[in-house]
C-alpha cells in the first residue's frame, strides 16, 4: 500500500496545511478533477481518515483552496489598482495582475475557475467573487457612471484577461520570445481598446 510516512515534524496541528499543499501539487499534475481526497492524504503522508476534521470531502478541500485563490487575487488586484492613479490605468493594471496571477499560481487559478464548485454549496465563494466585483466597480464608474455599463466594462476586461491567461497556460503564446511579458502587454492594450470603445459608444455594451 503506497502510503507515505508522516514527514518529521508534521503533526495533526499541520494537517490542514499539509492537505492543502498536497492538493495543490496534485492539481498542478492532474488538474482540479484529477485526484481523490484519499490521494491527497497519501501525498500528505497521513491516514485516509485524518482529513475529516477539516474537510468532509474533496470538494470541501478544493473550496478552501478556491477561497484562498480569491483572497490572493483580491490582494494582488488591490495592490495593482493602488499603484496607478487614473481609472483607465487601474483597469489595465488589474488585467496585467490577472494574467500574472494565473502564471504565478497556476493551481490556484485552475481551482478557482475549473473545479466546478457550486456557489450554493459554497457561499463563501460567491461572497469572494462579489468582493472582487466591488473592488472594480468604483474604478469602472469613474470611466462610465452608469452602473450597468460599468459592470459590462468589468466583465469585458476580466474576460479578456482570462482569455489571455488561458492562452498563456496552454502554450498558445509560445512563439513569443517572452510569453508572459507578451500576455501582460496585450492585456493592457486590450483593456485600453475596450475602454475606448465603451467611451465612444456606451450603449454597445448593453
Is residue 179 pLDDT above 50, yes or no?
yes
DSSP 118: -
pLDDT for residue 91: 97
> How far is it, in rounded angstroms, from Cα 121 to Cα 100?
29
Contact at 8 Å (CB) between 44 and 18? yes
How far from the centroid of its chain's Cα atoms is residue 198's Cα? 26
pTM: 0.87
Is residue 9 pLDDT above 60, yes or no?
no
Report, as an integer, the average pLDDT of 85-113.
Answer: 97
Is residue 85 pLDDT above 60, yes or no?
yes
How far from the centroid of its chain's Cα atoms is residue 158's Cα? 11
In total, the chain counts a number of residues equal to 206
Contact at 8 Å (CB) between 205 and 156? yes
pLDDT for residue 1: 36
How far from the centroid of its chain's Cα atoms is residue 71's Cα? 9
CATH class of this structure's domain 69-205 = mainly alpha
Per DSSP, the three-state class of 206 is coil
Orientation of helix 15-30 relative to helix 106-114, angle to 10°:
80
The residues, any chain, with a CB within 8 Å of residue 52's CB and separated by 6 or more, are none
pLDDT for residue 66: 96
| Annotated domain spans of the chain | 12-53, 69-205
Q: What are phi and psi of 40, to 5 degrees?
A: -60, -40
User: In which band, very low, low, confident or very high, does the pLDDT at 200 lie, cut at 50, 70 and 90?
Assistant: confident
Of 133, 114, 103, 99, the C-alpha closest to 31 is 114
pLDDT for residue 46: 87
pLDDT per residue over 12-66, tens digit each? 458 889 999 999 999 999 999 999 999 999 999 888 887 777 888 999 999 999 9
**Burial profile 169-194: b = 16 or more Cβ within 10 angstroms, e = fewer:** beeebeeeeebeebbbebbbebbeeb
Per DSSP, the three-state class of 29 is helix
Amino acid at each position: 500500500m503506497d502510503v507515505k510516512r508522516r514527514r518529521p515534524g508534521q503533526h495533526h496541528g499541520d494537517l490542514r496545511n499539509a492537505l492543502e499543499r498536497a492538493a495543490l501539487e496534485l492539481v498542478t499534475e492532474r488538474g482540479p478533477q484529477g485526484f481523490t481526497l484519499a490521494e491527497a492524504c497519501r501525498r500528505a503522508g497521513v491516514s485516509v481518515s485524518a482529513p475529516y476534521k477539516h474537510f468532509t470531502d474533496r470538494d470541501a478541500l478544493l473550496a478552501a483552496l478556491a477561497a484562498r485563490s480569491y483572497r490572493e487575487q483580491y490582494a494582488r488586484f488591490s495592490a495593482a489598482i493602488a499603484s496607478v492613479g487614473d481609472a483607465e490605468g487601474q483597469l489595465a493594471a488589474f488585467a496585467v495582475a490577472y494574467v500574472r496571477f494565473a502564471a504565478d499560481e497556476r493551481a490556484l487559478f485552475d481551482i478557482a475557475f475549473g473545479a466546478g464548485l457550486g456557489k450554493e454549496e459554497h457561499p463563501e465563494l460567491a461572497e469572494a467573487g462579489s468582493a472582487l466585483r466591488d473592488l472594480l466597480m468604483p474604478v469602472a464608474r469613474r470611466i462610465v457612471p452608469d452602473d450597468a455599463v460599468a459592470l459590462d466594462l468589468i466583465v469585458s476586461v476580466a474576460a479578456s484577461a482570462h482569455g489571455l491567461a488561458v492562452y498563456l497556460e496552454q502554450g498558445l503564446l509560445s512563439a513569443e520570445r517572452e510569453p508572459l511579458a507578451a500576455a501582460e502587454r496585450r492585456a493592457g492594450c486590450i483593456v485600453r481598446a475596450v475602454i475606448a470603445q465603451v467611451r465612444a459608444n456606451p450603449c454597445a455594451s448593453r
